[in-house]
A = this chain, B = another copy of it.
Amino acid sequence: MENFTIYNPTQLHFGRGVTDTLGKTIEKYGKKVLLMYGKGSIKRNGIYDKVTEQLKLAGAEIIEYGGIKPNPVFEDVNEAAALGKKHNVDVILAVGGGSVIDSAKITALTIPCDDSAWRIMIKMAKPQTAVPVIAVLTLAATGTEMNPFAVLQNVQTHKKIGYGNPLIYPKHSFLDPAFTFSVSREYTAYGIADLIAHALENYFGAGDASLSDKFVYSIIREAMEFGPALLDDLHSYDLRAKIMYAATNALNGLTGYGRVVGDWGVHSIGHVLSLLYDSPHGATLSVAYPAWMKVVKEKDPGRISELGKNLFGTTSPDDTISAFENLFRKLSCPLKMKDLGIDEDKKDEIIDMMKKNKVDGAHFKLSHHDIERIVGLMYSGNQNIYFA
C-alpha cells in the first residue's frame, strides 16, 4: 500500500428536504451569491424556486449565471467569473449536475485571480484562494459534489481536460435524491455508466490497495443491483438515493487511497468523443470501457479476471468483458459508436484527435496501435438493441 492522506472537508447533506437549511448555511458565507445553473431544467422542475426561496430567507442578493452547457466550456466560466468579480460575490451556489458544479469550481478560482479560467486549468496560473462553493446536486453521476476536481472543454484548442485543487472542494453539498426525479431515463443511465467508470478508473490504477478494490466492487455492485431497477422506476426515492450515494462514493477518494495512481485512460478516450461530437460523457464511457478492456486484457489479464470474479463470478477476462457489456446493455447504455450516432466515416478523425490529444492512461500506457485497436473495437460487434 502506498502512503496517502485522507482529508475531505466537504460537508455532505444527504436526504429528503436537506435544502430546507440551505439558506442558513449560505448566510454563514455572506450576502452576495453568484447562482450558477444550466440550461433551465431547474426552472421547469421547481428546484430553482426552492433554492431562490432559501436565498431570499437568507436575505441574499442573487447574481445569476445560467445557461451552462452539458459539456461545459471555459468561456462560460470566464463570463461567470467576470460577473462574480463585478459584484464582488461572497459565495457561489451551483445548482445542477457535474457541468454546473465543475464550472462553479473553476469560477471560484478565477474570480480572485488575475488570469483566465483556461490558464488556471493548464496550470499557467496558480490561484492562491477561491470563493467558497456550495452545491445543490440535481444529477447523480460525476461525484464532483465531494471532490476537488473539475473538467472543462476548450473547443478552439480541441481539449477537454481535468483539473484538481484542494481549494475547490465544495464547502457544502446538498443531495436530495428527489431532486433527481426529473432526470430522463437516458441521462439517468449515463450517470450510472459514469459512476461505474469512475470506480473502474481507480481499480485499473497502479499499486496494491485491497480495501480500496473492495470498495470499488461495493460501488459497482450497488449500480448492478439497483441501476436497472431505477431505469424502470424513475420516481423511486430509494433507488434514486442508492444511485446518488454510490456516485458520490465512486469519486470522493474512497476507491483510490493506497494506490500509486488511478488510470483514467478510458476517460481521456471519452473526452475526445464529447469534444468532437458533443456526446454525453457517461455515454462515451460505456462504449469505450469494454473496447479498452479488450486491449488491456493482453497487458494484464489477471487484473480483469479478478474484477470479474468479484463482480460477476466469471473466471476469464473475456467473460468479464462480456459481463460488463451485458451490464451496460441492461442499463440501456450505448455499446458501440453507432449507438452514439457516430458513423464509421469518422474513424480516422477520431483516431487523429486521440493521437493529437495524447489519449493515454497513467498506469496502462496506450500506444498508437492500441488506440487504433480500441477505436476499431468501439465500432465492431453488436450494438445495444436499445439503440439499434
Which residues of A line the B interface, CB within 8 A? 1-18, 146, 208, 210-211, 214-215, 217-219, 221-222, 225-226, 238, 241-242, 245-246, 249, 254, 257-258
Contacts and interface: CB of A to CB of B under 8 A. Distances in A.
Among A11, A211, A245, A246, chain B packs the most CB atoms within 10 A around the CB of: A211
19 contacts: A1-B15, A1-B238, A3-B14, A3-B18, A4-B15, A5-B12, A5-B13, A5-B14, A6-B10, A7-B10, A7-B11, A7-B12, A9-B9, A208-B238, A210-B225, A211-B245, A215-B218, A241-B258, A245-B258
Given A5-B13, A215-B218, 4 more contacts: A5-B11, A14-B257, A210-B226, A214-B222
Contact of A15 (B2, B17, B218): B2
Given A12-B6, A14-B6, A1 B218 contact: no
Nearest to A12: B6
Given A6-B11, A7-B12, A1 B242 contact: yes
A248 to B, nearest CB: 8
Copies of this protein in the complex: 2
Given A8-B8, A15-B2, A245-B211, A218 B219 contact: no
Nearest to A5: B13
Given A12-B6, A218-B218, A210 B1 contact: no
A221 B2 CA distance: 20
A192 to B, nearest CB: 14
B211 A222 contact: yes
A8 to B, nearest CB: 7
Contacts of A18: 3
A330 to B, nearest CB: 18
Contacts of A215: 215, 218
A249 B16 CA distance: 26
Contacts of A6: 10-12, 14, 146
A253 to B, nearest CB: 11
Contacts of A249: 211
Contacts of A226: 210
A358 B305 CA distance: 50
Counting from the closest, the 7 A-B pairs by CB-CB distance are: A3-B15, A214-B218, A6-B12, A7-B11, A1-B241, A211-B222, A5-B13
